[in-house]
Amino acid sequence: MNSRDRLADGPLKDEVEEKLEDIISNHPGLRALNMQRRKEEIESKLQDSKPLADVIENIIKKSPTLSKLFMQGLRIKNPFGALVDTKTKAKFVGKKFPTYFKLSKKYYNDSPKRCSANRKFRLQFETDAENDYFKRDKDPGEFALALGDKNVADSSMNLWNGLATVTIELPADASVGDKLLYACSVNDNSRIEPFTEEFNVLVSEPEEKKPGDGGHRKPSPHGDDDKVIRKEPSYLDLPNMVELKKSDGERWTRHFKDDADALSVKDGGEGGYDFFLNMDNVYLQNEMKGLAKVEPKLLEARFKYGMVLIGVSLLEYFEHKLSQKDKSAENDSSIPEKIYHLSKGISPVLLPMISSLGELELEE
């Protein structure tokens, strides 16, 4: 547009945004950087994790209902340090000119790669090329893809630490049942002959596109055969928690919008969930000012532990208790968004409820 910082609404904008989103979300280097950023953000507050675990464990043990809810299999993914490679790899050192570039898994005519008619598909290649092999200014490598006698331009590649992931769109005229034979090559000015590979793709029935489920990565209906390194998540019984105040500046505004916000649960994709608490919550501050006889630290602890229990309970409910039919009806917003709004609505009554109901006695 004339402003030069925006695109006009329309098919071009949608296509550009879709392609950028796909490239960024599937780039292994960016995902690794995101995990590192989350780790650094949380580590500054991790000294509170042990007392949090101890206090909540005591609370749960004293209540039969909470014990039944939380002690029978509820486990929340560790936000970082949780992924354990089933194959240990040394630090990757790439070569300026690779000595190999091969498919991680072969797809022959009798065992083709399956792709739904309305989806893209991805392939992974193993190589010893350095990360900027295809993008450097001097002597870059060239990747070429062809379907039959036609060149395929609609593809993108991420190369990171020995794994090259190629995302490919099916041709517009592809029909269910078609078997497509692709050929690809990688070349540079150091080679006499390029690296070449062929693979077969079977076009399968279109998949029904469903609303998102809060950022969860769903398993492929065709298996997990594109992963070279399979990872298994480790687990914690309790989430990692970060206390934030307005004085934290941009870190606070990244998770909260106003003083009434209470809890922000963030989905870190493969890393699970992080819990961020607004310790400048207006209702918490009002209670601290109005109840002079109650130690402020005690009120902060009640707010913190109460919100964590509420957040874990809501997460358990939305993740595990809703049937698939209910999930379809409830998916107008993501799970973290639901917890964000529900916890905000609960925060005005949380501390008065804890204080008043604990002193309640039945009249004779």
Longest dimension (CA), the chain: 97
Q: Which of 157, 94, 152 is nearest to 123 (CA)?
A: 157
pLDDT in tens, 220-249: 444 444 444 444 443 334 566 788 999 988
Q: Give the HSE-up count for residue 55: Cα atoms under 13 Å, Cβ half-sphere.
A: 14
Averaged confidence pLDDT in the chain? 76
Residue 164 has pLDDT above 80, yes or no: yes
Residue 87 has pLDDT above 50, yes or no: no
The tokens of 117 are what?
Answer: 């008619």
Q: Phi/psi class of residue 249: alpha, beta or left (left: φ > 0; alpha: ψ in -120 to 50)?
A: left
The per-residue pLDDT for 265 is 87
Residue ranges of domains in the chain: 44-83+233-358, 101-204
C-alpha distance from residue 106 to each of 39, 131, 183, 224, 321 (Å):
36, 23, 12, 14, 40
The per-residue pLDDT for 56 is 62
Polymer length in residues for the chain: 364
Q: 95: which DSSP letter?
A: B
Residue 47 has pLDDT above 70, yes or no: no
Residue 305 has pLDDT above 80, yes or no: yes
pTM (two decimals): 0.45
- Residue 81: pLDDT band with limits 50, 70, 90: very low
- Residue 68: pLDDT band with limits 50, 70, 90: low
- Which position has the token pair 């107008």? 332
User: What mean pLDDT do residues 161-177 have?
Assistant: 89
pLDDT in tens, 100-147: 999 999 999 999 999 988 788 889 999 999 999 999 999 999 999 999
- Which position has the token pair 């590979």? 197
For the domain made up of 101-204, the CATH class stated in words is mainly beta
Query: What CA–CA distance (Å, rounded) separates 273 from 340?
Result: 13
CB of 338 within 8 A of CB of 318? yes
Work out the angle at residue 44's Cα, subtended by the Cα atoms of residues 341 and 80, and round it to the nearest 5 degrees: 70
C-alpha distance from residue 217 to each of 25, 214, 272 (Å):
11, 9, 11
How many other β-carbons are positioned within 10 Å of the β-carbon of residue 270?
A: 16
pLDDT in tens, 267-293: 655 555 678 999 999 999 998 888 777
Q: Which of 214, 175, 223, 207 is nearest to 333 (CA)?
A: 214
Between 332 and 131, the more confident residue is 131
The per-residue pLDDT for 88 is 45
Of the listed ranges 114-123, 255-264, 338-347, the least confidently predicted one is 114-123
